[in-house]
Structure 1
Amino acid sequence: MRHHIVDTFADARYAGNPAAVVQAPEFPSGAAMQRTAHRIGLPTTAFVVPSGAAEFRVRWFTPHKEINLCGHATIASARVLLTGSDLTRLTFVSDNGVLHARRDGDLIAIDLPTAALTACAPPPGLLDALGTDAVSCAVSSDDILIEVASLAVLESLRPDFAALARQPFRGHIVTAPGRDGIDFASRTFFPALGVNEDQVCVTAHCKLTPYWGRRLDKVRLTAVQLSERGGRLEVRDKGNRVQVLGTAVPRDGVFDDRAHQLQRVTG
């Protein structure tokens, strides 16, 4: 299947999070989409199908599993669909709800539901698997959020991914206060989905934004993700929604599985 590759949240310092985008008149079978995502091998591949004026159905696959929501691949999809178009806003409809994306200058803005957090004690084995102590811990419906003492602690984490995968969570969001104009930083681990460390996770910021926004008494925050490639995000706490803004930089080629060759994008 022909696809585009887009690096989201990339800037002069950070390489961002890559995603593949496949446009199709209708969804292939789930097995075919999973095979394609595995063959492409990026953190997430989004499959988008037109369903109305400026509206698309969307499904997301990691190399190993379909997932219920992926923000960075939706931002990548918006960049692909808006390029060369007079449209400024798009609606993405998934089985997990509706997402809205729009141009915001040179950035793409995406609007997602805020995720509720409930404070908790660290579950048995979690901190051993992460190799750190926690300042605080909270759970959402599918992820767990752990605050650590500093950026230095966050950067030094070397998790036991096999042990993390045995924890009863989709993902593990580890965060610390920022500095030098950055409000907070994070790293995100999803070994249960076959992604040991996500490069930049938008859905994690549906939890991180209200967590730090209330702590810092701010509705607009700047965040970085300290993965190997790294990324910078602007986030806005809108109450029951979170807006995430970031760059989306298309690579200069499109790979066609059928021909097994890289073709230059024209136009």
Structure 2
Amino acid sequence: MKIEVPVISAFVDGNSGGNPAGVVLHAERFSHAEKQRIAAAVGLSETAFVSPSDAADIKLEFFTPTQQIAHCGHATIATFSFLQQKGLLANDRSSKETIDGLRSIIMEGKAAYMEQRAPRFEALNEPDLQAALLSLGITTDDLIEGAEPMLVNTGNSFVVIGIRDGSTIKGLEPDFGLIEQLSEALDLIGFYVFSFDGVGEGRDAGARMFAPRYGILEESATGMAAGPLACYLRERLASQKQEFTIEQGRWMAEPSPSVVNVRLTVGTDNRIENLYAGGRGAIREVIEVEVNPSPDLM
């Protein structure tokens, strides 16, 4: 049979750009294997599958073209933006169930904000640091002074790397095989490479995201990576801000400018307790995908 899959661009910058994700409703119809085949047929970096939940407003599962992942920021924003536009959300405060727990969602107008956990930081050992730099074709001289590359996790793990010059980050030619090897070794989604140089007015940083381990060479907006970057900027680079605007996608070979807003909740001890990353989603198109249901679902 054929199913219709809306494609929603999340974290749009103005009325364009963003990162597209497929959204499949009534996903309880499909087995795990069928969801994986659908995601592969959709062919986007992530596709979200929406099912009923006994613990939250909805259950969300995320699949790349090659495998399931625990969380996906832009597919979450795409899903809740779509549900709101279709009148399927009862309240501005909502929630999602994922394979590793529950998360709150807050709607503000056309923007959706998703909860992430307090950050966990881990320094890279010297061999892993050198492998990361080699994979990007850069040296320590290219790094932002005082910005030690680190693994940061607010639900998913990314290596965050600050590059001094905008021209350098724009001209990166990554070794995706080496990035994939290091991502496997460190259990990463991928690398989130950022710069302060050459970003738009009112933006705190510009970033690129590489995740070949999950079949994603580069994507244009990554809410689950922008969250760790905001935490890194506050706790490791001593920014006193509690809200950050991260742009992404503008330095891709085929630009798709995106904007992710991150709001940090800071406790009395000045430590980050949790955070919300969000932005707007816009319906791009609806595509048809062929899927053969399991016999017990026919």
TM-score surpassing 0.5? yes
Which stretches in structure 2 are left out of the alignment for 5+ residues? 266-271, 292-298
Instruction: Identify the range of structure 1 (36-45 vs 232-241) with the bigger mean alpha-carbon deviation.
Output: 232-241
Residues 78-131 of structure 1: CA distance to partner in whole angstroms, max 9, x if unpaired? 112222244322211011121222221231122211331123355142211101
The alignment-based identity, stated in percent, is: 26
Give the SS at the match of 1:2. strand
SS of the residue corresponding to residue 135 of structure 2 reads: helix
**Using the alignment, how far apart are the partners of 1:221 and 1:162 within structure 2?**
32
Residue 216 (structure 1) aligned with residue 243 (structure 2): no
Moved more, 10-19 or 184-193: 10-19
Deviation at 1:253, TM superposition (A): 3.1
Note the 1:3-18 alignment, pairs <5 A. Answer: 3-12=5-14, 15-18=17-20
- Cα distance change on mapping 1:126 and 1:25 into 2, 3 Å: closer
The Cα offsets for residues 139-158 of structure 1, whole Å up to 9 and x where unpaired, read as 13532111111222211111
Equivalent in the alignment of 1:186: 207
SS in 2 for 1:42: coil
| Whole-angstrom distance in 1 between the partners of 2:233 and 2:194 | 10
2:136 is aligned, of 106, 130, 135, to 130
- Helix, strand or coil at the partner of 2:115: strand
* SS in structure 2 of the partner of residue 203 of structure 1: helix
Show the 5 A alignment for 1:192-211.
Answer: 192-211=213-232
**SS of structure 2 residue aligned to 1:73:** helix
Deviates more, 1:132-141 or 1:213-222: 132-141
Greater fraction of residues in strand: 1
Instruction: Assess if the C-alpha contact under 8 Å between 2:27 and 2:49 holds in 1.
Output: no
Higher helix share: 2
SS of equivalent residue, structure 1 residue 26: helix
User: 1:224: Cα distance to partner?
Assistant: 0.4
- 1:251 equivalent in structure 2: 284
Partner of 2:295: none
Q: 1:163 to 1:104 in 2, by over 3 A?
A: same
Rounded Cα–Cα distance in structure 2 between residues aligned with 1:254 and 1:103: 26
Cα distance in 2 between the residues matched to 1:151 and 1:223: 14
- CA gap of 1:52–1:80, structure 2 versus 1, over 3 A, is farther
The list of structure 1 runs, each at least 4 consecutive aligned residues, that deviate by more than 6 angstroms after superposition, is: none
* Structure 1: tracts of 5 or more residues without a match: 259-267
Q: Give 1:175 deviation, angstroms.
A: 1.3
Partner of 1:162: helix, strand, or coil? Answer: helix
Quote how far apart the aligned CAs of 1:25 are: 5.7
1:183 to partner: Cα distance: 0.8
Matched with 1:102 is 106
User: 1:44-82 CA distances to partner (integer Å, 9 max, x unpaired)?
Assistant: 001110225961111100001111111110111111222
Distance 1:173 1:27, change over 3 A: farther
1:238-263 deviation digits (Å, cap 9, x = unpaired): 122121121100124353536xxxxx
Count of residues in Structure 1 that have an aligned counterpart in Structure 2: 259
CA RMSD, Structure 1 to Structure 2 (Å): 2.2
From 166, 183, 186, the counterpart of 1:151: 166
8 Å Cα contact 2:227-2:262 kept in structure 1: no
User: Which of 105, 113, 119 lines up with 1:115 in the alignment?
Assistant: 119
Q: State the distance in 2 between where 1:162 and 1:53 align.
A: 39
Tell me the TM-score normalized by structure 2: 0.80
Q: 1:54 to 1:165 in 2, by over 3 A?
A: closer
Which residue, 164, 171, 175 being the options, matches 2:194? 175
The farther-off stretch of 220-229 and 158-167 is: 220-229
